[in-house]
Amino acid sequence: MEKELIRLENISKSFDGTLVLDELDLVIHENEFVTLLGPSGCGKTTTLRIIGGFETPDTGRVIFDGKDITDLPPNKRQLNTVFQKYALFTHMDIAENIAFGLKIHNKPKSYIDDKIKYALKLVGLEGYEHRKPSSLSGGQQQRIAIARAIVNEPKVLLLDEPLGALDLKLRQEMQYELIRLKNEIGITFIYVTHDQEEALTMSDHIVVMNQGYIQQEGSPEDIYNEPENAFVADFIGDSNIIDAVMVRDELVNILGTEFPCVDKGFGEMKPVDVVIRPEDVELVSPDKGIITGEVTHIIFKGVHYEMEVTALGFEWLVHSTDMFPVGQTVGIWVDPYNIQIMNKPESEDEEAIPLDV
């Protein structure tokens, strides 16, 4: 584990009487790619702005490399921010845009020229020094914005939904570009997005937020495979979230049928939520399933078929490379390891997201 670089302690922030962050604690380590993930209004951008010095918390402290920087202005912090709107200077060429921060710090011309070449090579835009921003595509402009931030050699790069304005293919290309950059230049990335796939693809560490709280944090694998509540399970990928009763250790009653599982410690005959990912629902012949159901919808997604199967009064979402036609009776089988048991939500913040979000 790399050393601790940033610590947020007991951070709260309100705007116009509305609480946006509620006693938030977070630790970020050196050279991590950390993603703050959550729906609009969850507090992720406010958290980023507090780290960057663009907002001051109502309570709490921001510790950077062992020093309290809570009241330090942005230009005194060892970090740079890349926003969704690239904020390039349209009257300057690319070289002047990249050199802007270096000139403010009175760096010598030879140093600046070397840095411009290095940064353009890093983002794959060598030879673009004398182009104007208006002549570049959205993806190229975003690369220049990143190059401009990198030349200042920040310890941390803050990225606020930087790929949100790009089309899907370009966004995917830039995701790989950012991973490569992070590995090459060895700085800490703190990335804000509401895009779950983006977070899973790029991050070392994901912080899932909702209503000003951290709902769960961990590796992409932990967040996806071991969600701690219905909100996280529903927000990260597709899920079947079902009311159930924990009969005893390693046995759960789902919709009146007992399923073996591997979870322990939830008590006996206790109401719980069960999460089963669509790719973990296996469709088999009716005699081999734990329960049976009928295929009611099917969509071809390219890599797999997405099906809905009605069984025990519940619409099961299923992802499979095998196609079962609408109307077919099928068996449903789930490996005990793929049944995730969760405590019932203690608050609305931990509940699955309404469909209109």
Model confidence at 86, pLDDT cuts 50, 70, 90, reads low
At which residue do the structure tokens 């090459």 appear? 184
Percentages of the chain per state (helix, strand, coil), in multiples of 5? 30, 35, 35
Which pLDDT does position 154 carry in this prediction?
Answer: 86
* Residue (of 292, 314, 293) closest to 244 by Cα position: 314
Question: What percentage of the chain exceeds 70 in pLDDT?
Answer: 97
Q: Is the CB of residue 336 less than 8 Å from the CB of residue 259?
A: yes
Which pLDDT does position 211 carry in this prediction?
Answer: 92
pLDDT in tens, 326-346: 999 999 999 999 999 999 888
Longest dimension (CA), the chain: 77
- At the fourth CATH level, the homologous superfamily of domain 238-350 is Nucleic acid-binding proteins (2.40.50.140)
Q: Which amino acid is at 132?
A: K
- How far apart are the C-alpha atoms of 67 and 5, rounded to whole Å? 10
The counts of H helices and E strands in the chain are 8, 20
DSSP string over 27-82: EEETT-EEEEE-STTSSHHHHHHHHHTSS--SEEEEEETTEE-TT--GGGSSEEEE
pLDDT in tens, 248-273: 999 999 999 999 999 999 999 999 99
Tokens of 269: 């005959």
- What backbone torsions phi and psi does residue 90 show, to the nearest 5 degrees? -70, -25
Residue 330 exposure: Cα atoms within 13 Å on the Cβ side:
23
- How far apart are the C-alpha atoms of 150 and 42, rounded to whole Å? 28
- How far apart are the C-alpha atoms of 252 and 36, rounded to whole Å? 33
In the chain, where the domains are located? 4-225, 238-350
pLDDT value at 17 more than 60: yes
pLDDT value at 356 more than 50: no
* Segments of 41-200 assigned E as strands: 59-64, 67-68, 79-83, 156-160, 188-193
pLDDT value at 355 more than 60: no
Which pLDDT does position 354 carry in this prediction?
Answer: 62
pLDDT in tens, 112-161: 999 899 889 888 888 899 999 989 888 888 888 888 888 888 889 999 88
* Cross-strand partners of 308: 297, 317
Neighbours of 317 (CB within 10 A): 18
Which pLDDT does position 166 carry in this prediction?
Answer: 73
- How far apart are the C-alpha atoms of 46 and 350, rounded to whole Å? 20
- How far apart are the C-alpha atoms of 157 and 81, rounded to whole Å? 6
pTM, two decimal places? 0.86
* Cross-strand partners of 314: 311
Going by the DSSP 8-state scheme, the letter that residue 315 receives in this structure is E
Q: Is the CB of residue 246 less than 8 Å from the CB of residue 268?
A: yes
- The mean pLDDT value of the chain amounts to 91
Fold (topology level) of 4-225: Rossmann fold (3.40.50)
At which residue do the structure tokens 């920040």 appear? 154
Q: Is the CB of residue 270 less than 8 Å from the CB of residue 254?
A: no
Q: Is the CB of residue 26 less than 8 Å from the CB of residue 8?
A: yes
Question: What percentage of the chain exceeds 90 in pLDDT?
Answer: 66
